[in-house]
Structure 1
């Protein structure tokens, strides 16, 4: 539940003396202040999320929707690669296979002007489209969605906003909890008028979307730099030690990402890459055959990677061929079929083969959660996420409307919910803040700062207390 700036407890709102009322006003006050910070971010995330889903659904991100006439026999991939570099001279980084025989093949090429994407007809070799990778409307929305276009600072602000949104959900559910007519809590009261009407819509919509919002917030936090990158992801990453007697590179899988974009599974990002140049590994490319894009792609097909999958070319002398089928990249709409295979560039042996089943519990949750978060698990997922994003926007707007209607006209103050006198729960609030600091460091730190500000500053500076109350 995103924001409830207009919740009124049972009883006399001017004299919050009862035990339950004091707790209610305390929850309302936290809900109000957290909402002030969170509303702009939630609207930005919902709008950019809608943009990305619609672009992916109808246009695609990496050329996966470019249609071509069905032909008889596709050209060898190596020949397609040669023709692609004639259109965009440079070094091929990745081949992306088509999902069906009526779609284009796509190559990612590193050029002097940056990374280019080249789509061509696999039957004739004719180039159908060339564009800069990650430079379109989707990528602008993605960069805003992940960093607000201000790098790590934006990432940290969004992490705080996501954590405070969890505070909104739990305090909102407490404020929503039926205290009279239970049916009104589940169905909006359309007969109500004015502030009561908006309150009913806000509360009921917030209740029905609260569970889904928690899923989105947790999956989003797992991508964040502190809670995700420094705490959860390290202990949830796939352990490279499971690869017996395989030499490891100094690079981790995240080195395969392009800029700020995530191109490899979450559970593998911090796992070291295997290295080519040894006799380790299982039989992959049949002995006697050259190890090139044709034989490596054929290996992927033989391993069951039917339809769309990707092959990343070796990077440097110790680099490996990497075959990847990842629902996060729109390769499929079934996350449990995700698979990453590394092949020695010299011997063609399989150095590592990681399935969904090999991930940790958190890795599996993220393998499911990320494509769900992105609306990539089928039409039902796209429709559900669209309705969810629209609900988030409505919750934010309705919260603002309720605050405007509740705030006294021409009042030169914020009109926040009153701080209960002699609140008996302040020690518990400090403990909650400390616990949250350990679980979500940036969020917990923010809560402690706000708690200290509320009790130490507002309680002792009358002018500021009047302005913010």
Structure 2
């Protein structure tokens, strides 16, 4: 009897073993499913991640590149007293009679020049540098031909306009799916995964690449997420239609009808010179009631009413470390004093200040500071300063390190796919499982709802798989 009992497995043990096997099978199925999502998202994202990281490094060193390239016209010998801005403006107007001056960036220290933005008859925008002590015009910097401008245009639109913006937004949105699935695959679940968790092993090239890819990606996942979200806030759909619109500062007007000009219209080329939460807000208008005016052409500064020197005097009283003044561009245009972290005028976003002044009366029509920002706008202002490396030298060099790390993550991921790739695409194998993984499905649905272009990409892939791949044996084999 005892012998027979020892050879007979209790029903409870058999049931437990069966449940354990089922649990193991389910975990494997989920692992392979997440791996496939990670793989497909990675194939699309890697080229964009490389592009964003490389152009980001170039943009981080814009000031250094410009200073080296234009050092002869950017610095002057300090003298006893600076001339009024109006005198400097007159010198620029005489040197460029057929152009319109739209902005001045006041010299920030004793050895810096004043910069006047000039728009020529062809619509091209360039900086004219002026010696603030003598009003001598020193030279020009074409804003459309700078390394920063080229890197910024590639970084934002791939040089193809809104469709490039959509592609980059889609890749950034899918990067968040890539991030979520990558963290799931990275976290320890068994002895094999624990062996490489937060370790770099040199057993073989494959193991080394795997550990670098997983641990760099997992360890810097929060940093990458912050980069993605702050970058997506500029994107056309998620940023412009969803987040930015809901966090635009509600402007108020002293008189007159609601103006049609927006703050983003004050920007020159693709440079972001106004705060993010003001870009979609209308700009107040000057009222010429009681003032005789001549019909000024677009982009011309007012020669009547309040002069540029009075505006600069008021700006100096605000104790801003650096600021820029936008000149009125029409009869109803305003003077705008702007100092914000978005444009690099200040490094601390809490010092952000935007002031609009009536060009005739000198009245302040609107003033927006950090305290007026919404919670999301404050987070965005702080995030952009970090994103651009503006807070300090440490911030800049850490961003360089992060960009190089993102490049390493992308290249190691590509290398692992390339070396394990068989004759087909090398997609991770399917692991059949009955039923639906509710948590995984809910996560994907939530990401697709939060980031619409990620949803478009996922739905497009599902339709291609359903309507094309499954009907073609060759494609099915290649993508299996």
Is the pair's TM-score, using the shorter chain for normalization, greater than 0.5? yes
Query: Greater CA deviation, 63-72 or 23-32?
Result: 63-72
Give the alignment partner of residue 326 of structure 2, picking from 312, 317, 331.
312
Match of 1:285 in 2: none
Give the alignment partner of residue 228 of structure 1, picking from 218, 227, 239.
239
Aligned mates of 1:424, 1:88 — CA distance in 2: 72
Unaligned runs of 5+ in 1: 1-14, 280-288
Give the alignment partner of residue 461 of structure 2, picking from 450, 459, 464.
450
- Check conservation: 1:327, 1:333, Cα contact below 8 A: yes
- Check conservation: 1:227, 1:441, Cα contact below 8 A: yes
Give the alignment partner of residue 153 of structure 1, picking from 157, 163, 169.
163
Match of 2:363 in 1: 349
- Check conservation: 2:144, 2:269, Cα contact below 8 A: no
1:452 CA displacement? 4.0
The within-5 A match list for 1:185-204 is 185-189=197-201, 191-204=202-215
Query: Greater CA deviation, 98-107 or 316-325?
Result: 98-107
Match of 1:282 in 2: none
- Check conservation: 1:55, 1:61, Cα contact below 8 A: no
1:85 CA displacement? 2.4
- Asked whether 1:383 is paired with 2:391, we answer no
- Asked whether 1:101 is paired with 2:110, we answer yes
Aligned mates of 1:384, 1:33 — CA distance in 2: 30
> Does the residue aligned with 2:133 lie in a helix, a strand or coil?
coil
Aligned mates of 1:258, 1:34 — CA distance in 2: 35
Match of 2:14 in 1: none
Aligned mates of 2:381, 2:285 — CA distance in 1: 25
Give the alignment partner of residue 180 of structure 2, picking from 166, 170, 173.
170
Give the alignment partner of residue 57 of structure 2, picking from 43, 50, 63.
50
1:71 CA displacement? 1.0
The within-5 A match list for 1:267-278 is 267-277=277-287
CA RMSD, aligned part only? Answer: 2.5
Match of 2:311 in 1: 296
The within-5 A match list for 1:69-468 is 69-89=77-97, 90-113=99-122, 114-179=124-189, 180=191, 182=194, 184-189=196-201, 191-241=202-252, 248-277=258-287, 291-305=306-320, 307-408=321-422, 411=423, 413-422=424-433, 424-425=435-436, 431-454=442-465, 457-468=468-479
Unaligned runs of 5+ in 2: 1-21, 290-303
Q: Which structure would you say has the larger Rg?
A: 2
Aligned mates of 2:472, 2:227 — CA distance in 1: 39
> Does the residue aligned with 2:390 lie in a helix, a strand or coil?
coil
Match of 2:4 in 1: none
> Does the residue aligned with 1:274 lie in a helix, a strand or coil?
coil
The structure, 1 or 2, with the larger RCO (C-alpha pairs under 8 Å, 6+ apart) is 1
Alignment length (residue pairs): 440
Give the alignment partner of residue 25 of structure 1, picking from 15, 24, 32.
32
Aligned mates of 2:434, 2:391 — CA distance in 1: 47
- Check conservation: 2:305, 2:359, Cα contact below 8 A: no
Spell out, residue by residue over 1:400-440, the C-alpha distance to the aligned partner (whole angstroms, 9 max, x if none): 111122223xx2x1011012213533666555444334321
> Does the residue aligned with 1:240 lie in a helix, a strand or coil?
coil
